[in-house]
Structure 1
Amino acid sequence: MSGSRLALFAGSGDLPLEFLKSASRRGEKVITFALSGITQPAVEEISYRTFWIKPFKLGDFLKKLASSQVREIVFLGKVEHRVALSLSGLDLKALKFLFSLKDRKPETIIKGIFSEVERLGVKVVDPIPYLTHLLVPSGTVMGKVPSEELLEELSSGMEITRKIASLDIGQTVVIKDGGVVAVEAVEGTDECIRRGAKLAGKGFIVCKAARESQDMKVDVPTVGIETVRLIKSLGGKALAIDSGKTYLLNREEVEDFCKKHNFSLVSL
């Protein structure tokens, strides 16, 4: 027996660490499946046991998962979607899996992997009970209180971004003076912001939204101090996030940064 009923598939970023810390506080032992060169090495210190897997080796992951005898698994952290489009570095199982899908949209791929996992008798579970402290209530404002004009622009931007996210295009939109400047695609959030900033110049805003019918087991929007620093460094003035559907990492650090740098973060 594994000694643990719960597993974590960990991508990049701090979110897997937050989950492991929360599970540890509950006294739960978590087996982590980590991606070499992608997952933060610190997961090993908090996990009951860690299996390191080469990225995009689906067959190896499924074999290790089956042998671990866990009953439930959570998926958290970022894995680049662009690799699925390029087919670079995938093993035979991953290639067969991708060609069996109706398309290669992020949600299709993730839910397809969930199906592969559940065929092994392992249930994919919602991580929210472990991460409620990272969700931000509606109406929360950090830093500079936005003017009515800016709040209207942020609200309008969020409506657009939710629709784009629901089409499984991307979760991030850069806006300037009410007009859409850049929409996130396979390049990811940071590159979308950089592209938008280059096109818009100073004074742009960024909106980060979930799908209108967001499955909280799948690809939940996540922001943190690095996101806020990037926007501010490129001349952005505000960030809007989806209340109750976005993980906010490094909250105290983000609040301090927003206050110090006259930046607005609003949960809508």
Structure 2
Amino acid sequence: MDKIGLIAGSSRFPINVAIAARKRGVSVYAVALKEETHPELEAAVDKICWISIGELGKAVDFLKENHIKRAVMAGKVRLSHIYSKSVKPDGYLKNLLTKAVDKRGDTLLMAVANFLDKIGVRLLDCALFLKDDIVKKGALTKIRPTKEQLADIEFAKPIVKAVAQLRIGQTIVVKDKAVLAVEAMEGTDEAIRRGSCIAGEGAVIVKMSSPKHDMRFDIPLIGPSTIKTMIQVNAKTLALEAGRTLLIDKEELIKLADAADICVVGI
């Protein structure tokens, strides 16, 4: 392919996608959200269209004008925006929200994917250009999980899978085989803070996706910010689903974890 659309949310994920795509000779045309996307993305793409959340029609015009037939969605968009009075949905978005069966994250993302398909834009796997950053099985850090931490991880796995399958969240916080927090709309880092308020030090965080998770969007992500949150609350173990979780700025993440004696392990 010679060019691709990039629908960009928050974090460095869309920036890393753009850099990796251009290294392969693929031109990148980005739709960036003023409320979410890092300004640094502008220097990493060939062309960019800044829109406010709610301006779906403006994004459609940009994609059509530049003859974009394939796109990736990268970066989180906070669902809480749909409840914000500052967001003014245009006709396209109002129609999409009205037809959505519920307001869960994957429901709305699937609605966007189907809408894009109708206008001739096919969504691709969001990790298409970042396969080397997918979590592999085993310890990723110098620190390995203890026997007690492994027991907590095994305890948590079926629970987090069930939560993910219910499309509530992808992360739970546990300690001593007790669930302290379940991620919902607030995101991973806030769930870690909540759970650690109860755990004190040494919480175990487990992140996994639903077996039916659509990897074209909302792939489970972990970046340096999550490690920084763990350092702040003295959480010590992060277990991630191998083959289905993407590390953002992997080298920085592992360096931070090693310096803080945090164990990061693929399961």
So what's the TM-score if we normalise by structure 1? 0.93
Match in the other structure for 2:48: 50
Q: Which residue of 1 aligns with 2:123?
A: 124
**Alpha-carbon contact 2:151-2:177 (below 8 Å) kept:** no
CA displacement at 1:39 relative to structure 2: 0.7
Partners of 1:28 and 1:265 lie apart in 2 by 33
Selected match of 1:78 from 76, 79, 85: 76
Superposition map of 1:184-195 within 5 A: 184-195=183-194
Question: Aligned partner of 2:57: which letter?
Answer: G
Q: Which residue of 2 aligns with 1:89?
A: 87
Matching of residue 105 in structure 1 with residue 108 in structure 2: no
SS at match of 1:239: strand
CA distance in 2 between partners of 1:242 and 1:97 (Å): 32
Letter in 2 for 1:27: G
Deviation at 1:251, TM superposition (A): 1.7
C-alpha separation in 1, matches of 2:98 and 2:71: 25
Pairwise CA distance, 1:57: 1.7
Between 201-210 and 24-33, report the one with greater CA deviation.
201-210
User: Which residue does the alignment assign to 1:22?
Assistant: 20
4+ runs deviating over 3 angstroms: 85-88
Partner of 2:5: 7
- 2:60 is aligned, of 59, 62, 69, to 62
Greater mean deviation of Cα atoms: 15-24 or 140-149: 140-149
Do structure 1's residue 139 and structure 2's residue 135 form an aligned pair?
no
Q: What is the Cα deviation at residue 201 of structure 1? A: 1.6
Give the 3-state SS of the residue equivalent to 1:73 in structure 2.
strand
Paired residue type of 1:23: A
- Call closer, same or farther: CA 1:99–1:179 in 2, change over 3 Å: same
Q: How far apart, in 2, do the equivalents of 1:78 and 1:190 lie?
A: 13
What is the aligned residue count? Answer: 266
**What CA distance in whole angstroms lies between the structure 2 residues aligned with 1:166 and 1:75?**
21
User: How far 1:180 moved relative to its partner?
Assistant: 0.6
Identity %: 30
Match of 1:152, as an amino acid? A
Q: CA deviation at 1:86?
A: 5.0
CA–CA distance in structure 2, aligned partners of residues 46 and 141 of structure 1? 28
Q: TM-score, normalised by structure 2?
A: 0.94
Tell me the equivalent position of 1:183. 182
Per the alignment, residue 169 of structure 2 pairs with: 170
244-253 vs 59-68, which moves further: 59-68
Partner of 2:35: 37
SS in 2 for 1:214: coil
- How far did residue 113 of structure 1 move? 0.6
Residue 245 (structure 2) pairs with residue 246 (structure 1): yes
- 8 Å contact kept, 2:126–2:217: no
The worse-fitting range, judged by mean Cα deviation, of 205-214 and 8-17 is 205-214
Task: Assess, with a 3 A threshold, how the Cα gap between structure 1 residues 179 and 101 changes in structure 2: closer, same or farther.
Answer: same
1:77-104 per-position Cα deviation (integer Å, ceiling 9, x unaligned): 0100122255751323222211111111
Shift of 1:229: 1.6
